[in-house]
Amino acid sequence: MSDLVLKTAIANYGHTTPLKDGSVTSDMFSMEHVEISPVPMIFRRMVRNLEFDVAEMALATYLCSRAHGKRFTGLPIFLTHDFYHGGILVRARSGIDSPKDLEGKRVGVRSYTLTPGVWTRALLRTEYDVDLDAVTWVLSGDEHVAEFVEPDNVVSSPNADLGDMLLTGEIDAAIGAGQVDSPDVLPLFPNSLDADKAWHEKTGLYPISHMLVVKDDLLESQSGIAEELWDLFSRARAPYVERLRTGKATDAGDEAFLKRAAIVGDDPIPFGFERARATLEAFIGFNVEQGIIPEAVDPASLFPTTTLALA
């Protein structure tokens, strides 16, 4: 075993557990896992302090970070994906009966660069012709990338609870508020699973949520580290995907992956650049349109060249 120890921050998923319990290891390095909750605090601490050698990172935060010169690089190891019709809640008396009704309204989201927010706004614009500039986006938190400046139609609230903001009428709708147990709050898309499936069949896109990033200093000083991380995470992932194919769920995490598998097929955790190229190209375009990054970048430039052909 090498003396190299990587300080690592990743969430607990079925496909990362083998890395944390020591059942999947590397001869090149060991991993010192730091448990952080909630998971977005991993992103914040990596972006602001480069606190970890290897970290989980939301895709939009990664793009924004690169635009502001942060010293870490992604690997095409995509830890989570999701669909977003089900993440939009509306206040029952807000007059919102369809997506177009969001125009002229106040819509809450944790931060403007929040990855689910980017995907959801893109969905609203491309599929439902919502004018995103006609919406006031109300933030319940700040941006992980402190240098980022929001567009003019973005305001901040002192309230950090999107559900409470809905119930009090401060906002008319919310993205990513989680479950709000009140008859006064309703989903914009009651049949969200069917809507997600139809959208996926139409576009072929499988939205990436979280990925893996590595500190640039480590990539530059340790030859082969990116490929070794790929191998390690792939070996941890493989038995979990096989278990999901049996259709058996032992916890909420399994159930979430199986729900996505019902839409995309029997591999809901695809790794690899080529499989993700079209999704990455689309998402980069959405980030440019929404003012999160200044210009489009080549998706291949997001990753070390040695990882682009890995599959």
Residue 120 CA to residue 110 CA, distance in Å, equals 13
Residue with tokens 């006609």: 134
Helix (H, G, I), strand (E, B) or coil at 36: coil
State whether 147 and 191 are in the same domain. Answer: yes
Amino acid at 55: A
Residue 206 CA to residue 83 CA, distance in Å, equals 8
State whether 189 and 92 are in the same domain. Answer: yes
The 10s digit of each residue's pLDDT in 103-133 is 999 999 999 999 999 999 999 999 999 999 9
Residue 309 CA to residue 21 CA, distance in Å, equals 29
Mean pLDDT by 10 residues, the chain (311 residues): 91 97 96 97 98 98 98 98 98 96 98 98 98 98 97 98 97 96 96 97 98 98 98 97 90 93 94 98 98 98 98 91
Question: For residues 214 and 75, is the Cβ–Cβ distance under 8 A?
Answer: yes
Instruction: Lay out the sheet containing 5-9: strands in order across.
Output: 30-33, 5-9, 54-58, 208-215, 72-81
State whether 211 and 191 are in the same domain. Answer: no
State whether 199 and 92 are in the same domain. Answer: yes
Q: Would you call the peptide bond into 99 cis, given omega within 30 degrees of 0 as the criterion?
A: no
State whether 92 and 154 are in the same domain. Answer: yes
What's residue 1's pLDDT?
A: 58
State whether 174 and 153 are in the same domain. Answer: yes
CA distances from 155 to 138, 172, 244 (A): 5, 14, 42
State whether 169 and 216 are in the same domain. Answer: no
What is the pTM assigned to this prediction? 0.96
Residue 46 CA to residue 34 CA, distance in Å, equals 12
| CB neighbour burial string for 210-236, b if at least 16 within 10 angstroms, e if fewer | bbbbbbeebbeebeebbeebbebbbeb
State whether 183 and 90 are in the same domain. Answer: yes
Last residue of a domain, one of 164, 181, 203: 203
Last residue of a domain, one of 163, 188, 203: 203
Alpha helices in the chain (DSSP H): 17-20, 40-49, 59-67, 115-128, 162-168, 192-203, 216-221, 225-244, 252-264, 273-289
State whether 90 and 63 are in the same domain. Answer: no
Residue 243 sits in a domain whose CATH number is 3.40.190.10
Question: For residues 58 and 43, is the Cβ–Cβ distance under 8 A?
Answer: yes
Last residue of a domain, one of 148, 183, 203: 203
Q: What contacts 43, CB < 8 A, 6 or more positions away?
A: 55, 56, 57, 58, 61, 144
State whether 91 and 177 are in the same domain. Answer: yes
State whether 51 and 138 are in the same domain. Answer: no
What DSSP string describes 127-154?
HH---GGGSEEEESS--SSTT----TTE
* Residue 168: domain span: 85-203
What's residue 141's pLDDT?
A: 97
Please count the structural domains in the chain. Answer: 2
State whether 99 and 245 are in the same domain. Answer: no
Residue 25 CA to residue 27 CA, distance in Å, equals 7
